[in-house]
Structure formats: structure tokens, C-alpha cells
Amino acid sequence: MANSSAVTAALRLSEKLPFPLKRLADLAYNYWWSWSGDRIALFQTIDPQEWERCGHNPVAILESASYERLTQLAEDPFYLKQISALAKEFDQYLLQKDTWVSGVAPQLSKDNPIAYFCAEFGIHESLPVYSGGLGILAGDHLKSSSDLGVPMVGIGLLYRQGYFRQRLNRQGWQEDYYIDNPFQHMPIELVKTQNGEPLIIHLDVRQRQVKVQIWQVQVGRVTLYLLDSDREDNDPIDRWLTGHLYGGNLETRIAQEVVLGIGGVRALNALGIQPSVYHLNEGHAAFCTLEVARLEIEKTGKSFYDIEATVRNRCVFTTHTPVPAGHDVFSPDLIDSYFAQYWPQLRLSREQFLALGARRLGDPWEPFGMTVLALRMTRACNGVSELHGQVSRKMWTVLYPQHSEDKVPIGYITNGVHAPTWTAPLLGDLYNQYLGEDWKTRAMLPEMWAKVDDIPDEELWWRHRVLKERLIAYTRYKIRKAREQRGEDYHFIQSTDTLLDPDVLTIGFARRFSPYKRGDLILRDAERAKKIFSNAQHPVQIIFAGKAHPADEEGKRIIQRLMEWCRNSGLNNRVAFIEDYDIYTGQKLVQGVDVWLNNPRRPLEASGTSGQKVCFNGGLNLSVLDGWWCEGYKAGSDGKGLNGWAIGEDAHTSDQELQDRIDSQSLYQLLEQEIVPLYYNQNAQGVSSGWVQMMKTSIKTNAPLFNTDRMIADYVSQVYVPEIAKSVEPILAKVLV
């Protein structure tokens, strides 16, 4: 059994702090601080420049702060009051006994937690081991589980260089680069054994034994364990197994998935943790089911087929990908080189082993699919929105010849977001006043959110306006820096001072630049778009952000097209692109925009979550009816949106060119005829009451549904503890059994 080492790291850090600041060390080593109401000033106050330079890393800022500065703070009663109030709240949070789960599912005990496996976790920008939606969802999953008291541990990989970083050159072309993560100075701690040595697990990868060490991260009450092969006693090649997130070829990919799935189960074992449920978040972790099986065979001496049902009973699976090509598959050759020594331990032949991942049996070239393996080896599977559930049932009917498509046992639990993380503290403060100080713990309740009607219109409007100003200031700052680094012309750099205008209706669009997301749809008809953006009385502006996968040339071309628009002299104050999208930029965007645009080709957006984040901050969604928005969007009897807008309504065609035309025209029409007029219909104080009405309707209808507290409640009642499925009111989702 390992030491609780995050406590020792915090202790070590606290030793260098003046007495009244010591609790800052505890806060720094638990990401709980990042969703507290005090998060903005808490560490930034120490040294705003250093805070930015170190990527908002609380451990690094405390380590680097001078004794002079620390003692200055230690004599400031204001700051001390803030710390002691926060430390008290933190202690109460950690010790709380009457959690949501203690009332609803007391059978979920700390001794047998849920083990949540994922290839990426997006907890905070200072822990860059995520790429996008999947990771952010996993981070929010842990945070809400912590808030609700669901016993859980996370299992992932600690990537030495994380996901690639994005820089755009003067031609607007994306250049990729990597930065080493300074593990020793991050809010993570190496797990050690009683005698002070790192706890190591062993894995056979490519005929070599690899030693993997384990780091732990505190996320409120939940511990996240991250596996790391970067040890001096490993072969240099194996040290890079956990080098990059989604970086390499299929060979690296399968090796990483072996570390995550098989290594993850071994790590839990070494830690003395016996999970009640293994939750595979996406197929990357599916090898975990094999290791659970191997251990069971070792223990019981039975055959694979005898223990298969036991394994299935302990494993559940969430699928995220609505297109067949998005699911990891490996050739039989590749499987041979990684598993030839492994399948005998499962007492399986090669054919039997390959069959576990085969869509169709009997074809020797049939690849091994991670989703197929996960579907075979888990007792419950869900998609991440109602529509995605439907799409997944259709996609996988082939595996269930005994069922018609609608009876395929794949349900859905619609994604949500962690409200305290994504709601701007300035609005959280407003919710404190009008919804009650405990609003964060009651996010699932529609009757609580109904109280946003009590907020005076001007109050909601001006607070949102401040957040928009903050977004614009941040955008100018980032773009100025990027232009300076590119060595742009002096006047072009200076023009960032007038880039964007807080009086102007502001649209945000940020996500991965995959062709199916159609990042440049709004520019499809250049003349019409220009007229909308540069209208003299009622202009519109747009801020873009997002990366294209390094191998995605078409995605990079879309970014390049957007960068051309940023340089267009007729428009250069109204179109902006922020480089290197991350959680921090994401927060600024979702908190500051008036309208969030999302126009994927339907049904390729499994859920999407960024539009949900916008709702908590009073922004309005303008989106294709795909993913979560199919469930969120509400229209009135006149067919007009009450809580946002639907692009293209229900018009669908398989002709992409035609679909793009239909959707872009619908988008222009909505902007010209509904959105722009409503926004600029402002009274003498500059407030549009019609707009505020929609903001409030959006909060009331979306906030109670699309938060991760509701999502975790659904996972508990429908997946984690199937026996209690009846005793908790299902709010959105149904898992078909």
C-alpha cells in the first residue's frame, strides 16, 4: 500500500511559506481551488506576471515567490482573511459526510470506488494532458463526482509533452511544437512505497519489460492516477511511450493503450484499490477488460469463457465517436506483436483472442476494434446524447444480429459541464445573490434556476458586458503577442489596440478544426458575410480559436482562410483568431461571447459541450440541431427559438455541397433577421430586454440539464449501480438494457 504522498508534497511546500500562508500549500496541491469562487485572485496576487508565465500553476508560483513577496502578503490581513476563509471551506468540503451519494447510493463505498479510465484529462490549464472535448469531459466527470461524493479514482497517462502546441506563421499556416511539462514543479506527486521508492508496475511492451511509475493528482475528493514510462531504467524508446497525447502512429497508439488499459489495472492493484466498477471512457481503455480477466483467471484457475460474465459485470463503457473511422482499430499483425505472449495467459488461442475485437468473424484480415472489444466486455454502454445513442445503435447493429436496430443495447447519457468550473465568478456571485449561496450544489434543480427571473435585467446585462470586455482585452493581448512573435509590421501590431469593440454583438467559435465542423461556414458567401460584419449601424464581430490535427491538411487550410479574413482590411477589426486554444482561452470565450456558433455536419457532433458552458454565462447558442442541442433547443409556437437558434432546422441531405449552402443561408438569415435586430433593440440604458429575456430562458432551460451533476446522477442511477435505477428519477437519459 502506498503513502498518501500528495500530503507530503504539500507539507514540503508549506515549509518554505511564512506561518499564516501555510494553508496555501494544501490549496495548491488540490485542484479544488480552481472551481472555488476565489480562484481568480488567490495565486495571481502573489505575482501576476509570474502567474501568467508559469501557466497558472499554483505550485510553481509558490516555489518561485521571493521571501520578500511572501512576507509582504503574510502581513496583509485582507489576504490572510481570504486564505483562512477558503481553507475553512476546503476543509469542510473534504470532510463532508452528508453528500448527495450518501443519500442516494450508500452502497457505493470508498473501499470499492469507480475506476474511471480515460486517455486524457482536462482538469486545468496548468496540467496540459488533454487535447479537447473528451479530456474536458473527463475532468468535469471527476469534479462532479467529487462534489456529489461519488467514490471515484481516475486513471490516465502523464504525457511528458502533452498535446501539440499551435503557432500560426505569417502565411496563416499552423506550425506544431511541443513543450516539456515540468512534472517536478506541478501540483502532482509521484506515488512512493513505504520505503520511499517510487511505486513501479511492470508491463511487457514490444518484447521488452517497461517500468511505469504513477503520479497522483488531487481533484477535490477524487484522486487521479497518471501513468508515466519516462524513467531512466527504461529503454530510451519506451521512455517516450507516454511522451505525446495522440502524437504517434498506430504502433505508438496501441502501446499507449496497453499502458492505459493493462497498466491502469496493474496500478490500481499495486495501490491496493479494488474498484467496484471499471468505467472505460472511450475505447482507448478497452484493454483494461482483458487485464481484469487475466487477474480473475489467475485467481480462480477458470477459463476465459467461465469468467467472462464476471468481468462484464464489473465493466461499463461510454462511446464518443459517431463515425466508424473514428474508432481505433489495429491490424492482426500489430495485435500479434503486442499480445502473442498475452493471450496464452488468458488461455485463449490467437483466433479466439482476435475474435474479441472483430466486427465480423471468420475473416483473417479483420482488424481488432477497441470499441468492439469494449462492447463485448462491458455490461452497459452509452452514447453521449440522445441522437448519438441512436447513431451508435445503428452503427453497431452488426454486432447484435439477434436485435433490431432500436433494440441494440446502447443507451445514452447526455454530456454536461461542471458548472462551478465554467461559470464566471462574476456571474457566480450574481447566482449567490439571487439563487442562493448553495447554487453550486443544487445545479440539477430546475426550480432553483427558475429564480434567474428575479435578477434585474440591467444587472445581468452589465455583468455579461464586463465579461465581454475582459474577453476582448484578452483577445487583443494574445493577438498582439502573436503578431510580435511573428515579426509583423509595426502598424499591424498597433492595430490590435482597436481590434474588436465591446459595444458590438460578439460571436465565438472555438473547437478543433476538422472539416466536418465547417469552421469557415459563416464566410461561405463572402459578400453577404462582409455586409453582416461591417454593417454601419449594427455590426457583428467573431472570435475564433482551435487547433487542426497535425495530419489534417484540410483543417489547416480552414484556419488559413480564417487568418486571411483577420487580415482583410475591410474587416480587420471584426474578425479575430486566438492561437493555441486551451482551457483558459476556452473559459474566457464561453464567458464573454453573446452568441456561440456551432455548425457541424449532422450527426457528426456526438454531443459537444462548449455550447453548454456558454449557457451558464448568459450566452446564447446558434447551432445546428446536432448533439446536445437537439435536446436543449426550445422553439415557440411561431417556430422561433426561445432559448437560442437552430441553424438549418431539420433540413438534411446527403449532398454536402447542398447542405453547406442550406445551412449557411439559414445562418445568414438568422443573423440578419432575428439575432442582430434583437440584440440592437436597446433602451436608453443600452439594454435589450428581449435579449435578456432569451438569456434568462437559456439559463433556466439548459442549466439544470447540461451540467455534470445531472450527468453523474444519471451514471450512478443507470450505470454504476443498476440495482437502484428505479429509486432515482432519471432526468434525461435512458440506458436500454
Ligand X SMILES: *Cc1c(COP(=O)(O)O)cnc(C)c1O
DSSP secondary structure letter of residue 409: S
Q: Residue 182 and residue 531: Cα distance in Å, rounded? A: 48
Residues that bind ligand X (CB under 6 A): 132-133, 136, 511, 581-583, 586, 608-610, 613
Give me the phi and psi of 467, to 5 degrees please.
-65, -35
For the CB of residue 304, give the shortest distance to ligand X in the complex, in Å.
37
For the CB of residue 629, give the shortest distance to ligand X in the complex, in Å.
10
For the CB of residue 597, give the shortest distance to ligand X in the complex, in Å.
11
Between residues 20 and 162, which has the closer beta carbon with respect to ligand X?
A: 162
Between residues 378 and 514, which has the closer beta carbon with respect to ligand X?
A: 514
Q: Residue 73 and residue 130: Cα distance in Å, rounded? A: 34
Counting Cβ atoms within 10 Å, is residue 349 exposed (0-12), middle (13-18) or buried (19+)?
A: exposed
Between residues 132 and 619, which has the closer beta carbon with respect to ligand X?
A: 132
Of the candidates 122, 133, 196, 191, the residue with the CA atom closest to the CA atom of residue 159? 122
Residue 603: asked if its preceding bond is cis (omega within 30°), the reply is yes
For the CB of residue 482, give the shortest distance to ligand X in the complex, in Å.
18
For the CB of residue 120, give the shortest distance to ligand X in the complex, in Å.
11
For residues 185 and 59, the answer to whether their CB atoms sit within 8 Å is yes
Between residues 550 and 722, which has the closer beta carbon with respect to ligand X?
A: 550
Q: How many CB atoms lie within 10 A of CB 90?
A: 18
The string of DSSP codes covering 147-201 is HHT--EEEEEE--SS-SPEEEE-TTS-EEEE-----GGGSS-EE-B-TTSSBPEE
For the CB of residue 584, give the shortest distance to ligand X in the complex, in Å.
8
Between residues 279 and 613, which has the closer beta carbon with respect to ligand X?
A: 613
Q: Residue 706 and residue 381: Cα distance in Å, rounded? A: 20
All three cell numbers of 212:
511505469
For the CB of residue 608, give the shortest distance to ligand X in the complex, in Å.
4
The string of DSSP codes covering 279-299 is EEESGGGTTHHHHHHHHHHHH
For the CB of residue 412, give the shortest distance to ligand X in the complex, in Å.
16
For the chain, the 3-state helix, strand and coil shares in percent, each to the nearest 5, are 50, 15, 40
Between residues 220 and 600, which has the closer beta carbon with respect to ligand X?
A: 600
Between residues 65 and 136, which has the closer beta carbon with respect to ligand X?
A: 136
For the CB of residue 324, give the shortest distance to ligand X in the complex, in Å.
20
For the CB of residue 628, give the shortest distance to ligand X in the complex, in Å.
9
For the CB of residue 356, give the shortest distance to ligand X in the complex, in Å.
30
CA dist list (Å): 164 to 52, 459, 556? 19, 41, 14
Between residues 263 and 608, which has the closer beta carbon with respect to ligand X?
A: 608
All three cell numbers of 309:
460474465
Between residues 509 and 565, which has the closer beta carbon with respect to ligand X?
A: 509
Q: How many CB atoms lie within 10 A of CB 681?
A: 13
Between residues 366 and 582, which has the closer beta carbon with respect to ligand X?
A: 582
For the CB of residue 661, give the shortest distance to ligand X in the complex, in Å.
24
What is the distance of C-alpha 629 from the center of its chain? 17
Between residues 483 and 547, which has the closer beta carbon with respect to ligand X?
A: 547
Q: Residue 672 and residue 664: Cα distance in Å, rounded? A: 12
Q: Residue 412 and residue 392: Cα distance in Å, rounded? A: 9
All three cell numbers of 533:
460584419
Of the candidates 413, 414, 420, 464, the residue with the CA atom closest to the CA atom of residue 443? 420
Between residues 528 and 710, which has the closer beta carbon with respect to ligand X?
A: 710
Q: Residue 221 and residue 720: Cα distance in Å, rounded? A: 18
